[in-house]
Structure 1
Amino acid sequence: MPRLQDLEPAPKLEHAEYKQLLRQWQHDLLSLQQTALRAGARMIVNIEGMDAAGKGGAIRRMVARLDPRGYKVYRIGAPEPWEDERHYLYRFWTRLPRPGELVIFDRSWYGRVLVERVEGFASKEEWQRAYREINEFERMLVDDGVILKSLWFHINPDEQLRRFESRLADPFKAWKMTDEDWRNRSRWDDYIQAAEDMFEQTDTNHGPWSIINANEKRYARLAAIRAVTNALVEAADPDQRPARLHMPEF
């Protein structure tokens, strides 16, 4: 069943309201991070989504108030030659969180069934097999005690074009734009189909997806922090949860 076309509109948030909510949610996430550090918990957050959907900005807000000793962010691009000689999951095995650590993957092992599928870097047999491999990998992580959350940031084609043009007009952001961005945009429908197939095959109880309408950046940033915070709350021992959390609605 398609999911992206049925997303609810993202609400607009005024600057003052957004700032207040952001502080509260960041405080909650910090409190839970400190609880997790004491308890030796481990968490992985996978960040995926369309180009220019605001993934990097959301990650920056997510970690802004966290203890830097307790998290790592890995930006996953094309594999190095020595990585390409190994199984595609190898470079994630070597970056798994240690006790008390949150690891955020900016792009993740789902690249196997997204960009590698669409751009032909993986054969049809390889990316079709990857659904099972990913599910088994995630099941193994969760069985070993890892808290796992995957987030998809989604924008519509018109908003993506507006952000592309905005970047090109800003000398401090123009560097973000490459020919690859425009090529990916030309294959929009292929990426949407790949994403829908990915949700269908890999949205499981142990590895759930949260799809975030990112047409409004402020809302998307808050929604991402909320999803991670909620996952930590659900996984935490009730006796070890922070005494006071805000967790406001928006």
Structure 2
Amino acid sequence: MSKKKTLTLADADLSLSMSKVSYLERLEKLQLKLSRIQQAYLFHGHKAVLVFEGWDAAGKGGAIRRINQALDPRSFKVWPIGAPRNYYLNRHYLLRFWERLPPEGAISAFDRSWYGRVMVERVEQLTPEYRWRAAYREINDFERMLVDDGTRIVKLFFHISPDEQMRRFEERLRNPLKRWKLTYEDFRNRARWSETEAAVNEMFAETSTEIAPWTLIPANHKKYARIAALEAVTKTLANGIDLDPQHLDHQTLDAADKHLNVERELIDSLRARTE
């Protein structure tokens, strides 16, 4: 499987930022485009998987919420992924992800994903080296099968500096509404920053493929990161897709003409689009 040019965390320009005015303008446009994408996916039966990875407090949840705001929950599902329970510990690690893949017409977002195999399980030594190394091939094969089955994949990694992470930890400590996000594990994980960084860079090298490339999101500035994430999602999901509003069939238009008090010109114009 051909690989793209090797990506590393050092490629992220963490100084990138965005004004509030620019952020709100671009967010509105991107959320509208997401709504049109979802409508097209529902009509044509397309499906997509969004993978969100990154450092603790890097802003994955904030980006997911901005996507969630734009989409109908009946065909958009967010899967928060934590440590597997015993049922999955006794089975292949990809099983729980197979079970959560989207049906036709739907989009699924994974807040952490199968990449835990080659990051946290590697760093924490929860999996023997020969098994997490084999996961590179297994993951590439898994994603190839998804793409061959008509699923589009967007993989995002949110990168922040250690100093910015500590600032956000303090913010969570001080804010009662965010305090629930802060755990002992957040601080413990920092002790292995360099090991995790090496694991992430190797993950990029082994799994950023032509069909499922990684997108690195500079996330020191939350507004910039959210827009960069939504732009990456909409670019991949909209590529080659007709986003125009779908036409109504003649039976529906006949019923609308009979039961709704609308202008004849509107019905005639919509009827012409179906012919």
Smaller-chain TM-score bracket: over 0.9
Q: Deviations over 1:95-131 (max 9, x none)?
A: 1110100000000000000001001111101100000
SS in 2 for 1:69: coil
In structure 1, list runs of 5 or more residues that go unmatched: 244-250
**Counterparts in 2 of 1:77-116, with a 5 A limit?**
77-116=82-121
- Corresponding residue SS for 2:79: strand
Q: Supply the AA of the counterpart residue of 1:188.
A: W
Instruction: Give 1:32's aligned residue.
Output: 37
The whole-number CA distance in structure 2 between the counterparts of 1:157 and 1:210 is 20
Report deviation, 1:209: 0.6
Aligned amino acid, residue 175 of structure 1: W
Give the corresponding residue for 1:4. Answer: 9
1:132 aligns with 2:137: yes
| SS of residue matched to 2:70 | coil
| TM-score normalised per structure 1 | 0.93
CA distance in 2, matches of 1:179, 1:97: 33
**Contact 2:63–2:229 (CA under 8 A) maintained in structure 1:** yes
Given that 1:10 and 1:219 are in contact with CA atoms closer than 8 Å, whether structure 2 keeps it comes out as no
Distance of 1:136 and 1:17 partners within structure 2: 40
Question: Would the aligned equivalents of 1:10 and 1:214 in 2 still touch at CA under 8 Å?
Answer: no
For the Cα contact (< 8 Å) 2:57–2:165, is it kept in 1? yes
Which residue in the other structure is 1:246 paired with?
Answer: none
Are 2:14 and 2:161, in contact at CA under 8 Å, matched by a contact in 1? no
> 2:14–2:219: 8 Å Cα contact kept in structure 1?
no
Identity %: 50
Counterpart residue identity of residue 159, structure 1: E
Matched residues in 2 for 1:68 and 1:172: separation? 24
What are the equivalent positions in structure 2 for 1:26-65 lying under 5 Å apart? 26-65=31-70
Which residue identity lines up with residue 178 of structure 1 in the other structure? T
Shift of 1:242: 2.9
**Does residue 1:234 correspond to 2:239, yes or no?**
yes
2:171 equivalent in structure 1: 166
The question of 1:210 aligning with 2:210 is answered no
Equivalent-residue separation in structure 1 for 2:11 and 2:205 (angstroms) = 15
Distance apart, 1:19 and its partner CA = 1.1
Are the structure 2 counterparts of residues 205 and 235 from structure 1 closer, same or farther at C-alpha, using a change threshold of 3 Å? farther
Shift of 1:2: 5.8
Question: Secondary structure in 2 aligned to 1:86?
Answer: coil
Q: CA RMSD in A?
A: 1.2
AA of the residue aligned to 1:176: K
Amino acid at match of 2:230: I
Distance, in Å, in 2 between the alignment partners of 1:138 and 1:88 is 14
Q: 2:184 aligns with which of 148, 163, 179?
A: 179
Distance 1:93 1:2, change over 3 A: closer
> Where do 5+ consecutive residues of structure 2 fail to align?
1-5, 246-275
Q: Does the CA contact (< 8 Å) of 2:58 and 2:219 recur in 1?
A: yes
Q: What's the offset of the Cα at 1:233?
A: 1.9
**Equivalence for 2:76:** 71
1:42–1:98 CA contact under 8 A, matched in 2? yes
Contact 2:12-2:159 at 8 Å conserved across structures: no
CA distance in 1, matches of 2:159, 2:57: 9
Q: After TM superposition, give the deviation of residue 20 of structure 1 in Å.
A: 1.4
